[in-house]
Amino acid sequence: MTESYILDWLNLIIRWVHVITGIAWVGASFYFVWLLNRLLPDENGDPKVAGQLWALHAGGFFHVQKRNIEPGGLPTPLHWFKWEAYWTWVSGFALLVLVYYVGAERYLIDPAVSDISASWAIALGFGVLAGGWLLYDLAWRSPLADRPGLLTILCCIALAVLAWGLCQIFSGRGAYIHVGALLGTIMVANVARVIMPSQRQLVAATERGEPQDTSLARAAGLRSLHNNYITLPVVFVMISSHYPSTYGHAQNWLVLLGLFAVGALVRHYFNIRVRQGNYKPAWMLGVALVLMGVI
């Protein structure tokens, strides 16, 4: 009884931290993508300004600029965005262990789906997170990255195969959470292994008075864009345990992929709308059709 009580409070506290840090991370991601898509040329033609915009918030006027920093020095203080991502993953992984590994017999394993032991199920869960990130990272560092459209399709096919496979081994709820945990791991690893190292190298080159390597900025920007599109599918997985009609369906892996497509299309709609300055209602019609198909 005492153990159950303590676990329940741990679950609440860690989940609260997870939601708070996740909101901060998602908010920063959405804001900066919106910002980059809204930047306009400098009204005074300053070559040091790569883009600028005016905004109104909380009764104040803000002038935001994207600057071309010359080698030799950096403005201070320079704010970095990383801890939101790190703590979202740390708290999410802690929840995964607490709910699905400590309680493997209840939430991770379904004897009607697969006769797998708790130890093997947990080992497979760890393997999915580590192996999935390694394969994703290798793919986007390979020559195939020069053909991003093709590689994106291949990654989506790989995700579909993984979702189908996990739904044949884990409970529906356990399969969903592991697909989401893999995507969340890819997101935070993009920050820790690509975006932050690239930014550190750019900062170091500037401080040494050397020209910046633009390929580093492109690599960081690409992984950041990946994170932006993955966000809404991951948010769905975070709330999916409340809706057994999704993970409990006989074709639960198709339901998952359909709702992932809805999330990615919604994100694409808002990115395109901002960048191109129009609403493209056909995109939302596509979202509605996919959603109706899933339902």
- Average pLDDT for residues 67-74, to the nearest whole number? 80
> CA nearest 274: which of 90, 54, 31?
31
CA 241/CA 3 separation, integer angstroms: 23
User: What is the mean predicted confidence (pLDDT) over 166-177?
Assistant: 97
Residue 94 has pLDDT above 70, yes or no: yes
- Report the alpha-carbon distance of residue 227 to residue 190 in Å, rounded: 8
- Residue whose C-alpha is closest to residue 230's, from 199, 272, 188, 200: 188
Within 45-99, residue ranges assigned H as helices are: 83-95
Instruction: Please tell me the predicted confidence (pLDDT) of residue 236.
Output: 96
- Least confident residue range of 178-192, 236-250, 273-287: 273-287
The string of pLDDT tens digits covering residues 12-68 is 999 999 999 999 999 998 898 888 888 888 888 888 888 998 999 999 999 988 888
Average pLDDT, the chain: 91
Residue 213 confidence (pLDDT):
85
Q: What confidence score (pLDDT) does residue 85 get? A: 95
List the structure tokens of 88. 């979202």
pLDDT at 79: 85
Other beta carbons within 10 angstroms of residue 258's beta carbon come to 18
Q: What is the pLDDT of residues 189-231, one digit of tens each?
A: 999 999 999 999 988 888 888 888 888 989 999 999 999 999 9
**What distance in Å separates the CA atoms of residue 141 and residue 85, rounded to the nearest whole number?**
22
What is the model's pLDDT at position 43?
A: 80
Tokens of 129: 């997170």
Token reading at 55: 């905004």
Residues 264-294: tens digit of each pLDDT: 988 888 887 766 555 666 767 778 888 888 8
pLDDT of residue 277: 58
Find residue 64's DSSP bridge partners: 53
Percent of the chain with pLDDT over 90: 65
Please write the tens of the pLDDT for every residue from 112-146: 999 999 999 999 999 999 999 999 999 999 999 99
* Predicted local confidence at residue 276, as pLDDT: 55
> Could you count the other beta carbons within 10 Å of the beta carbon of residue 91?
20
User: What span, in angstroms and rounded, lies between the C-alpha atoms of 290 and 124?
Assistant: 31
* Mean pLDDT of all residues in 154-175: 97
Quote the pLDDT of residue 193: 95
In the block, residue with structure tokens 């401080």:
207
